[in-house]
Chain A
């Protein structure tokens, strides 16, 4: 407990990936930053750096961020080789500087994956995730055609498990952590969320086939059971959902009459 104990400010050395745009080659730039409060969040530390850079007439470091509460999934960068940094089950925005030490040297990089091209500095393009959802990550129901909500009972254990999967914030840390840059955990979370509920049954087979086809078309790798994705996931989504996806996929593949077309991807 550090309640109201006088806090000492920290000095850091930051090696940050700077890249002007997708076409630029990019490289690390090194900055010294002093006067960092241990109570600051990681992104507040970067705000502080950016204010100093602007003061000196240098363009600030670009990074995605929005809610800063760990729920929107906007933020994310690789800190010293670990997506979202050293704290488990914590997004970059919820990481606090007290987890580091005075004098630390930090390496900050964007998510590295062919399917996530760099937009600028630490910002990447994650449209591929949206296209995986477009391929089938929904229940096809139009507004105003629903029956009374309590006419669809769902066993509590299934509802809870569906919620465990549905918590995915779509940040992309799973892809960044995977040696194959696979999006299996992301895809499996949505396949499982909907596959566990009665509402998701009619489209269960076509959904898993289409979403996996899209994932492959985007250039994400396959899953070879490293489990790095679960370790990096700020929501702690379990790799068990990948097993569930594989089961659904196998079942659908042998019973389905149509194999979804592999779609082309524009970037």
Chain B
């Protein structure tokens, strides 16, 4: 299959403007006749649904939560990047574009990234006009901070709750459209299948999570904004409900899944406390601005350090990031900080329970600045840390460990954010397009809102103008088949042959997470990945033999919902391992142990791997097929990243 990006040629600076001019428009009087289905109501979905509603299209929006305000975008802490250059510190659209392509380790599509940087400035204007209470200076203008080691201060923020405030802005815009009657909202509703007929997306099959009713909704275009798949690892910083089901079901209907092996592991999370742990909590990486990362130099000090870290003398501490990366120190990018933490823990120098932690120490900053300044900067984070761990980070160093945080991979889309299935658009974390192999801090919020407010409303309209209505008869074979398959799927989950003595959906989810974390996690190698594939396959067979779901399909049944999501994760996990196996280079968040520099740093292989790896589904148990979209870098010339 040839994958065409459909990105306009010519100078990159004017590409999006020219592309928009070439689009077809829909007459305002005809817009309400078009039905757009938006699945997922986080930043990308809510902003797209609201904007399409404002334009006059008939929108139906779906989310599995009880309200669109609860989507996981809400948990983002740090901020949102935009090339406003309000500080006059040398920022520009081109610099944000450059930083994002480089930060993505030269595995993203240049023209998409340029557009992202371009519309970033409009996002801030839009959000402020909605009343998003961004942090301000005493003069009343917007404040900015530098984030994740960026050399310019381009991050806008609302305390440690930027995602919450941006989501509430989009949610309020969405509810305004609900009031005006352009958007019909379906909360507690989960998409379980995509309807494709005559090579075009025509609708979705959903299950009402309260009544259990399985139903078809037809639409002229389907927009998936359903987030990432980090919960394939079970333990992650994602919300418990975050899942891959909508995207995966679309994949099974023909949508290509791109770069599933690109997973971001965040270095500053609270370590695991025990076997009943259900999720991992992220501590904003702004902490690394003042905290120093260390472990004891000598293994014999570990036990004493774990009991009383302050008793370890300065000379016996290994500030390993400062030692190895003198110019960036504790502010090296996420992937490097994570890998180094794993390395010292694997070498037996980790601290805390199970040796799975490193210290993030504020002692020197507190001595220099005092408790008060540190409290102003990080007070809420310190409080959160103490609430979870019962330790006071003003007096003892925090313990941190990396955790799965974000997935750069996702459904393949072209420049218009349309998948290879005409009429199926994919937005936000659910697509693969803008972050390459590694995402920069404060760029996820930017991409979600760029896609939803400023890209999809144009490209979806162009698609509708060119392709017209998609409605087919309710008894069309494709509709009946999808509905029947979904009902059968639900029935199968409730009636496995060995369920009487089987295991719960949660037990399977945890088992899958273990395999993925150990063998498809921070460092990967051929032997481990090959084992992971066969272990996941075996686990999947056991799942379908004996997963134990009680209750009925016609009721509010959280266990059934989890089982259905785990079933899809069990398929996606294998694909993730296959993609990691295929990509024999190290790049961004993907580290292959076989591909290292002599000093142990990641080694990219541009000659053989400058492509997007997009997989097609060939049926249950069959091998998926790899398709390649070659990437060209006309503006930002690839170089090996170095933070020494």
Contact = CB atoms under 8 A, between A and B. Distances in A.
Interface of A: 1-4, 20-21, 37, 39-41, 43-45, 47-48, 50-51, 54-55, 57-60, 62, 64-74, 87, 90, 94, 96, 98, 119-120, 123, 125-127, 129-130, 133-135, 137-150, 152-156, 159, 162-163, 166-167, 169-170, 193-194, 197, 199-200
Nearest to B399: A3
Nearest to A166: B133
**Interface pairs A-B: 4 shortest CB-CB:** A153-B140, A138-B172, A146-B129, A146-B125
B524 interface: no
Interface in B279-297: 279, 281-282
Nearest to A4: B306
Given A67-B75, A147-B125, A154 B278 contact: no
Nearest to B306: A4
Nearest to A126: B66
30 contacts: A1-B392, A3-B396, A4-B353, A51-B506, A66-B72, A67-B70, A67-B72, A67-B75, A68-B239, A69-B75, A71-B75, A73-B70, A74-B65, A130-B69, A133-B172, A134-B175, A138-B173, A138-B175, A141-B173, A142-B51, A143-B47, A145-B129, A146-B125, A149-B84, A149-B127, A150-B84, A152-B128, A156-B137, A167-B164, A193-B133
Contacts of A37: 273-274, 276
Contacts of A129: 67
B560 to A, nearest CB: 11
Contacts of A156: 136-138, 140
A188 B347 CA distance: 54
B124 interface: yes
A4 B642 CA distance: 37
Contacts of A200: 131
A167 B50 CA distance: 22
Interface residues of B, number: 87
Contact of A163 (B67, B159, B391, B457): B159
B504 interface: yes
B176 A72 contact: no
Interface of B: 47, 50-51, 54, 65-72, 74-75, 84, 86, 122, 124-131, 133-142, 158-159, 161, 164-165, 168, 171-173, 175-176, 178-179, 185, 187, 210, 239-241, 273-274, 276-279, 281-282, 306-307, 352-353, 384, 387-388, 390-392, 395-396, 453-454, 457, 504, 506-507, 548, 550-551, 555-556, 558-559
A94 B388 contact: yes
Chain B CB within 10 A, most for which of A120, A143, A144, A145: A143
A167 B138 CA distance: 21
Contact of B168 (A43, A135, A142, A166): A166
A65 B240 contact: yes
Contacts of A169: 164
Contacts of A59: 550-551, 559
B273 A39 contact: yes
Contacts of B278: 41, 43-44, 47, 68
A127 B187 contact: yes
A30 B165 CA distance: 40
B158 A140 contact: no
Contacts of B384: 69-70, 94
Contacts of A73: 69-70
Nearest to A1: B391
Contact of A1 (B168, B396, B556): B396
Given A66-B65, A146-B128, A40 B276 contact: yes
Contacts of B392: 1
A262 to B, nearest CB: 15
Contacts of A1: 390-392, 395-396
A265 to B, nearest CB: 14
A108 B57 CA distance: 45
A49 B534 CA distance: 32
Contacts of B555: 20-21, 120
A204 B239 CA distance: 35
Given A45-B276, A54-B550, A133-B171, 20 more contacts: A21-B555, A21-B556, A44-B278, A66-B65, A66-B239, A67-B70, A67-B72, A68-B239, A68-B279, A90-B387, A96-B390, A134-B179, A138-B131, A139-B131, A143-B47, A144-B122, A150-B142, A154-B136, A166-B133, A166-B168
Contact of B139 (A43, A137, A140, A153): A153
Nearest to B210: A119
B88 to A, nearest CB: 12
A162 to B, nearest CB: 4
A129 B179 CA distance: 13
Nearest to B140: A153
Given A59-B550, A74-B65, A144 B72 contact: no
Contacts of B54: 142-143
A141 B130 contact: yes
A159 B506 contact: no
